Amino acid sequence: MQFLLSALSMVSVSLLQGLASDTPEQLLGKMTLEEKIGQMNLYASEWDLTGPPPTEGSNADKYEHIRTGKVGGVLNVTGADAARRMQQLAVEGSRLGIPLLFGYDVIHGYRTSFPIPLGESSSWNLELMEQTARISAIEATAAGINWVYSPMIDTFRDPRWGRVMEGSGEDPFLTSKIAAAKVRGYQGTDLSRPDTLAACAKHFAGYGFPVAGRDYNTTILDGRTLHNIILPPFKAAVDAGVRSVMNSFNLIDGIPATAHAGLQRDLLKGKWKFDGFVVSDWASIAEIAVHGAASDLRQAAQRAILAGSDMDMESFAYVTHLAGLVEEGLVSEAWIDDAVLRILRVKTELGLFDDPYRYIDATREREALLRPAHLDLALDAAIQSIVLLKNATNLLPLDKDAGKIALIGALADDKDSPLGNWRGMAIENSAVSVVEGFRNLGVDFTWTKGVKLAMNPGKMADLVNVNTTDRSGFEEAIRLARESEVVVMVLGELGHQTGEGRSRADIGLPGLQQELLEAVHAVNPNIVLVLMNGRPLIIPWAAENVPAILTAWHGGSRAGDAIARVIFGLENPSGKLTMSWPGSIGQIPVYYNHDRTGRPDANPSVFWSHYNDESNEPLYPFGHGLSYTSFGYSELQVTPSGPRTIDVAVRVSNLGQRSGTEVVQLYLTDPVAQAVRPVKELKGFARVTLAPGASTVQRFRLTKSDLGYFLPDGSFTFEPGEFILTVGPTGTLSQQVSVSD
Ligand code: GLC
């Protein structure tokens, strides 16, 4: 066997050397139809199921298919040794020896865990978010990964949807900037470098708008929302050079995105000139039939390839049916060629034909993961992700020496939940807990869980039996609280209570946490509530009764240190919400860039747009976040500086006693338009760090692409006239200006 393998390797190396000098077109010319279709076939390893177990055709011998050139890539293979074995099978076993892609969901880190994207986006720090993607790529490529299913750039408005943890919030402008930063971070400037990899913009498109926030539910999208809210981040990712796009499970106007030629061929590959490849989401090709848009897997395969889905993840549709469809003249081989060229082009750019083992280096894997510098960045990212929601009595920051401190909460000692969902290859229970963070600062405190969040926390939310009966820890918690000056409570969600397949209808504090909070408050109202969460949580009682509240999200490997440093004032929080925080479930969806409606204004009658029992406004709005200092805005200047151009300048001052970072936000209002525009839209932002008493002038320039918008049919328009510019954390200064064509 050894002789055979070494003989094979000689043959394949020479073949590969031949291939390495081939252009994708030349290589395509050497391929049989079956080999071409093989490149369009993407299997998951058995390491990690990230979708429902496959059905029809899934009894395929995946290793035999790899050895015979019927596989173009494998996902969820982690570790250099495993990847090497699989790559050898493809390169040395198959006729042409075309190397595999190795894909993985690196969403917020590979081994070093950064805050979940919804948390990290609250930093509004593009350089930071590019850097965390860069580090994620350095670690993932050391372990054999050359393709990540990231960034997830869906916009969304419903925190019942479990996957809000995975994205960057409700705003298309901010998400677009983050999308480009992430693509740059993952792909670098040279895709052939061993520490860069192909990124994948997902999920194209509209997955973030499931009706009622129920994952995989249908969507009801109008053209305005699709073209102005959902698609811009994908265009930004394409403009940033993203090499792959993953389609989505949902319908658009009754057509599954995976079968939507208008979306994938006409817009993405046509108008936007995207020259990478489209990969289906897990079994989304097979699900074309489940949706009822095809009669069987064969017809689903036909619709998918005709609509521009180039690679089939775990549907077994292409490998089973494409050859027959071509032979029967139902699918032109030209579509196959187009798909295969796109895939080969990315493999060439990755340098896989020069060296298929370039990304597989066990030595580098041992050295590159969890480097101290990576963990330092994780701390920085966690700190900048924290959003101070309320600090009514300036209870925060705490003084370590100002009396007895009690730390209470189900998540206070949790070393796993901060890793969140989609945690990649982070080691279970490896995060710094809040208890450890307090200890690392030398804080003198007592602590108790007070309540278990779940009876037997498991990896999948459906295995988490939320504790609704065991109050045995309450007494100790109440005793500690009674004896202390101040109580820090760490409550929220387990790491796997958000994420894919984790939509919740009730997004209050799970289990008995609210009851514990009120019981503690009854004996000591001096509470700092630290939320550890993957989504905005419904906390009206806390918002009313608790003096200080911050969200630390699922903050990653160094979460506990970040929380401790912010609570005790070593760091000044600067995070701002990127998703509106509802006051009640009944408000959902509530979002900042909403329409004015025809009856926006309160009047003595009931005939205006409102609830009789709830505010129209979220509990905490998009862009909200407090600081331990305060900032002032003055000297706003809004100047039309040419056709379709506006220059804005505003002075930002630190009015407080300590340094701080403010996220200056610029919003545009177009009060009259052919298709009405939202009450305001984010069109610029900047992080400014100021010493006490210092100030700076922040400048913005808006041009036609900022002032115009997409009509429901997707055509872009600019309408000269009056515009209103507003600046500030959530709009403090405004000025109207007239702009010519
Ligand atoms: C999942 C997700 C997608 C992920 C893929 C592979 O179903 O929808 O985001 O990249 O399958 O794990």
Q: What is the tens place of the pLDDT at every residue in 292-330?
A: 999 999 999 999 999 999 999 999 999 999 999 999 999
Ligand 1 centroid–CA 50 distance in Å is 6
- Indicate which atom in ligand 1 lies nearest the CA of residue 202: 9
What is the rounded CA–CA span in Å between residue 421 and residue 495? 5
> How far from chain centre, in Å, is Cα 681?
21
For residues 369-398, average pLDDT: 97
Query: Which distant-in-sequence residues (6+ apart) come within 8 Å of 21 by Cβ?
Result: none
pLDDT at 2: 47
Report which protein residue has its CA nearest ligand 1's atom 12: 50
pLDDT at 61: 83
Which of 237, 122, 104 minimizes the C-alpha distance to 556?
122
State how far the alpha carbon of 625 is from the alpha carbons of 562, 577, 697, in Å: 16, 6, 21
Is 185's pLDDT higher than 60?
Answer: yes
**Sheet holding 445-448: strands in order across?**
387-391, 548-551, 527-532, 486-492, 405-408, 445-448
Is 76's pLDDT higher than 70?
Answer: yes
pLDDT at 300: 98
Ligand 1 centroid–CA 104 distance in Å is 9
pLDDT at 46: 67
Ligand 1: residue of 152, 247, 281 to mutate (most ligand atoms within 8 A of CB) is 281
Looking at the DSSP assignment, which residues form a beta bridge with residue 690? Answer: 660
Neighbours of 649 (CB within 10 A): 14
Alpha helices (H) along 428-493? 434-440, 474-482
Q: What is the number of alpha carbons within 13 Å of residue 43 lying toward its C-beta?
A: 24
pLDDT at 18: 61
Reported as a single tens digit per residue, the pLDDT across 654-664 is 999 999 999 99
Reported as a single tens digit per residue, the pLDDT across 320-362 is 999 999 999 999 999 999 999 999 999 999 999 999 999 898 8
pLDDT at 246: 98
Domains and CATH numbers, the chain: 2-366 (3.20.20.300), 370-573 (3.40.50.1700), 631-739 (2.60.40.10)
Angle at 94 between CA 93 and CA 99, to 5 degrees: 95
E strands along 70-123, which residues? 73-75, 101-104
Reported as a single tens digit per residue, the pLDDT across 209-226 is 999 999 999 999 999 999
Helix 317-327 vs helix 333-349: crossing angle, to nearest 10: 140
- Indicate which atom in ligand 1 lies nearest the CA of residue 152: 9
Is 19's pLDDT higher than 70?
Answer: no
Is 62's pLDDT higher than 70?
Answer: yes
Ligand 1 centroid–CA 565 distance in Å is 35
Helix 559-567 vs helix 372-385: crossing angle, to nearest 10: 50
What is the rounded CA–CA span in Å between residue 592 and residue 732? 15
Beta-sheet pairing, 73-75 with 645-654: unpaired
- Indicate which atom in ligand 1 lies nearest the CA of residue 76: 12
Is 730's pLDDT higher than 60?
Answer: no
Query: Which distant-in-sequence residues (6+ apart) come within 8 Å of 430 by Cβ?
Result: 113, 415, 416, 419, 557
What amino acid positions are annotated as catalytic residues? 281
Is 5's pLDDT higher than 50?
Answer: no
Ligand 1: residue of 76, 279, 282, 503 to mutate (most ligand atoms within 8 A of CB) is 282
**Alpha-carbon dihedral 93, 41, 21, 238, rounded to 10 degrees:** -150
Q: Mean of the per-residue pLDDT values for the chain?
A: 94
Structure tokens that stand for 352 in this block: 């896989």
Reported as a single tens digit per residue, the pLDDT across 610-625 is 999 999 999 999 999 9
For residues 61-88, average pLDDT: 92
pLDDT at 12: 47
Structure tokens that stand for 667 in this block: 């919003």
pLDDT at 402: 79
Q: Which residues line ligand 1 (CB under 6 A)?
A: 50-51, 75, 105, 149, 202, 281-282, 500
728 vs 713, higher pLDDT: 713
pLDDT at 461: 55
Query: Which distant-in-sequence residues (6+ apart) come within 8 Å of 347 by Cβ?
Result: 98, 99, 101, 353
Ligand 1 centroid–CA 294 distance in Å is 22
Beta-sheet pairing, 277-279 with 244-247: parallel
pLDDT at 11: 45
Is 194's pLDDT higher than 50?
Answer: yes
For residues 472-483, average pLDDT: 98
Neighbours of 460 (CB within 10 A): 11
Is 386's pLDDT higher than 50?
Answer: yes
- Indicate which atom in ligand 1 lies nearest the CA of residue 103: 6
For residues 436-459, average pLDDT: 91
Fill in the amino acid letter for 595. Answer: D
What is the rounded CA–CA span in Å between residue 69 and residue 490? 52
Task: Answer yes or no: are the C-beta atoms of 707 and 737 closer than 8 Å.
Answer: no
Structure tokens that stand for 309 in this block: 């889905």
pLDDT at 53: 63
Reported as a single tens digit per residue, the pLDDT across 108-167 is 999 999 999 999 999 999 999 999 999 999 999 999 999 999 999 999 999 999 999 999
Ligand 1 centroid–CA 107 distance in Å is 11
Is 8's pLDDT higher than 50?
Answer: no
* Cα maximum dimension of the chain: 90
What is the rounded CA–CA span in Å between residue 140 and residue 136? 6
Ligand 1: residue of 249, 500, 503 to mutate (most ligand atoms within 8 A of CB) is 500
Q: Give the 3-state DSSP-derived string for 381-423, with helices as H, strands as E and coil as C.
A: HHHHHCEEEEECCCCCCCCCCCCCEEEECCCCCCCCHHHCCCC
- Find tokens 């029967």 and name the residue: 328
- Give the chain's count of helices (H) and strands (E): 23, 25
Is 55's pLDDT higher than 80?
Answer: no
Q: Give the 3-state DSSP-derived string for 332-351, with helices as H, strands as E and coil as C.
A: CHHHHHHHHHHHHHHHHHCC
State how far the alpha carbon of 304 is from the alpha carbons of 148, 253, 282, 294, 663, in Å: 22, 16, 13, 10, 43
pLDDT at 729: 65
pLDDT at 532: 98
The whole-model pTM stands at 0.96
What is the rounded CA–CA span in Å between residue 453 and residue 466? 6
- Indicate which atom in ligand 1 lies nearest the CA of residue 50: 12
Q: What is the DSSP letter of 723?
A: E
> What pLDDT band is residue 407 in, cutting at 50, 70 and 90?
very high
Q: Give the 3-state DSSP-derived string for 663-722, with helices as H, strands as E and coil as C.
A: EEEEEEECCCCCCCCCCCEEEEEEEEEECCCCEEEEEEEECHHHHCEECCCCCEECCCEE
> What pLDDT band is residue 603 in, cutting at 50, 70 and 90?
very high
For residues 236-265, average pLDDT: 98
Q: What is the DSSP letter of 568?
A: T
For the stretch 631-640, what's the b/e string if a residue is b when 16 or more beta carbons lie within 10 angstroms of its beta carbon?
Answer: bebeebebeb
Which of 585, 518, 579, 587 minimizes the C-alpha distance to 553?
579
Please measure the distance between the N-terminal and C-terminal CA atoms of the chain and give it in whole angstroms. Answer: 74
Reported as a single tens digit per residue, the pLDDT across 625-640 is 999 999 999 999 999 9
Report which protein residue has its CA nearest ligand 1's atom 8: 281
For residues 247-265, average pLDDT: 98
Task: Answer yes or no: are the C-beta atoms of 496 and 502 closer than 8 Å.
Answer: yes
Ligand 1 centroid–CA 75 distance in Å is 10
What is the rounded CA–CA span in Å between residue 492 and residue 554? 9
DSSP string, 268-317: IIIIT---SEEE--TTTTHHHHHHTSSSSHHHHHHHHHHTT--BEES--H
